[in-house]
Amino acid sequence: MKQISYGRQYIDKKDIEAVIETLQSDYMTQGPKVKEFEDKVAEYHGCKFAVAFCNGTAALHAAYYAVGLEKDDEFITSPITFAASGNGGLYLGGIPKFVDIDKENYNIDINKIEKAITDKTKVITPVSLAGYPVDLKAIRKIIENTGKDIKIIHDAAHAIGALRENRNIVDYADVTILSFHPVKHVTTGEGGMVLTNDENYYKKLCLFRTHGITKNPDELEENQGAWYHEMQELGYNYRITDMQCALGITQMSKLDKSLYERNKIADYYDNELKDLEWLILPINYFKKEWLKDDKYKGLKIKPENLNSYHLYPVLLKDPEERKSFFDYMRENNIFVQVHYIPLHLMPYYKKNYGYKRGDFPIAEDYYSREVSIPMYPTLTKEELDYIVNTIKNFKK
C-alpha cells in the first residue's frame, strides 16, 4: 500500500488550467482573481465582505487588529489549537488567556468561558476543532449577559462550510477566519481569509493587508493625481496572488462534494471502529441519516447541522499506548498526525505567561491520547479498508 497521509489536497485538471490561464494573463497579483475569489467565498457563506490574505496566520493577525485588540488587552482561546490562534493576538501585544476544552467535543468549554472574562477581556477566539462547529450562539449570549463589549473571532480554519442549527460559521461572530493550506477543504497552496458583515472591519482589513496604503479616492486625505496613494495606518504585506486565487475559485466549486465525501468517510469510520474498546471515536453529535437520502448527495441541499470533518481525531483509552499506535500506523504507511500539542505547554507560553502542566487538565489528557487518522475526500474504498483493518490489527 502506498503512503496515506492524514490529509492532502485534491488538484484536478480544471484547477491546473485555471492557474495556467492566470499565468498567461496580465495579472499575477493584485488583479481581478482576488476579488472574484473573495466574492465567491463570501456569497457561499452569505456574508457581505471577505478579504483574502497570504496565509491563515496573517488572516488571524488582521482579524485581531480589525476588532481593536491592543497592547495588554486579554483574549480568550482554546489551548487545543495551532499556534496561530494565539500568535495573532500576541503580535499586537495581547495577553492570552486559555479556557479548557469540553471533554465531549474537544472545542472550548462554553461553561467555563464566563469565569475567565475580566475587565481586560476584549476578544474571544473559539476554534471549531476538526470541523465541528463551535456553539457561537451560546458564546454570544454569554457576552451579552456580561454587558461587556467583547468581540468574537471565529477560528474556522477547520470548518469552512460547517452548519449548526442552520446557521453558518459567520453567524454570531464579528469576524471569521479561514485557512487554505493544502490539507484544508479548499486550498490556494498557502492562503487565508477573513469574513465579516461589518464594513468598518472590512476597510481596516483591506488597509492592514497592503502596508496600510489606500488608493481609494473616497478615503484619501488629499488627491494629487491618478498616481497618488496614502499610507494611513501601519500595515503589512499580507497580499495573496491572482494565481492562488484562481486555484481557490475552482477549489470552491468542489467544496460541497468534499463536505459530503468527508461525512461519508466519517460515517464509515464510525461504523467500522465503534466496537474497539481501546479506542474512543469523536462523538457523532450530528446524526448522519441524511447521507442515505439522495437529495443531499453533493450537498446541493444541506442538513440542519453539518460537521465539515477537516480531521477525524481518535483517542487511545490508554495514553501509554499512544506513541506505539502512532509509530505502528506510520510503519504501515499510514501517516497519522497529532492535533495539537496544548499551546500553554509550549516553552514560549510557559516562559512568558507562567503557564504550566496541570493548568488545563482536560486539554492535556486529550493531547496525551489523540491521533488524527486519514481524512480527505479522495480516499478510496481500498485505502479506507486498509486503514480500518490496520487499526483493528493493532491489538492482535
| Tally of helices (H runs) and strands (E runs) in the chain | 13, 16
Q: What is the DSSP string of 356-379?
A: -TTSSHHHHHHHHHEEEEP--TT-
Handedness of CA 72, 77, 82, 88 (dihedral sign): negative
Rounded Cα distance between 244 and 188, Å, is: 5
Residue with cell 486559555: 98
pLDDT in tens, 30-68: 999 999 999 999 999 999 999 999 999 999 999 999 999
Could you tell me which residues are beta bridge partners of residue 371? 314
pLDDT in tens, 61-102: 999 999 999 999 999 999 999 999 999 999 999 999 999 999
Stretch 355-372: mean pLDDT, rounded?
A: 98
C-alpha cell at 128: 471549531
Mean pLDDT (the chain) is: 96
Q: Which helix (H) or strand (E) holds 63?
A: helix 56-66
C-alpha cell at 23: 499565468
- Which amino acid is present at 267? D
pLDDT in tens, 288-339: 889 998 888 888 889 999 999 999 999 999 999 999 999 999 999 999 999 9
pLDDT in tens, 145-178: 999 999 999 999 999 999 999 999 999 999 999 9
86 touches 77 (CB < 8 A): yes
Map out the domains of the chain with their CATH numbers: 4-252 (3.40.640.10), 255-395 (3.90.1150.10)
Q: Which residues neighbour 67 within 8 Å (Cβ) at sequence distance 6 or greater?
A: 122, 123, 151, 153, 174, 175, 201
DSSP 8-state class, residue 240: P
Question: What distance lies between CA 98 and its chain's CA centroid?
Answer: 18
Cβ density class 121-141: b for 16+ within 10 Å, e for less? bbbbbbbbbbbbbbbbeebbe
Rounded Cα distance between 22 and 5, Å, is: 30
339 touches 372 (CB < 8 A): yes
Q: What is the pLDDT of residue 285?
A: 81
Rounded Cα distance between 325 and 392, Å, is: 11
265 touches 309 (CB < 8 A): yes
Nearest to 371 by CA among 49, 130, 195: 130
Query: Is a pLDDT exceeding 90 seen at residue 232?
Result: yes
C-alpha cell at 73: 488587552
State how beta strands 49-53 and 95-98 pair: unpaired
State how beta strands 167-168 and 213-214 pair: unpaired
Tell me the whole-structure pTM to 2 decimals.
0.97
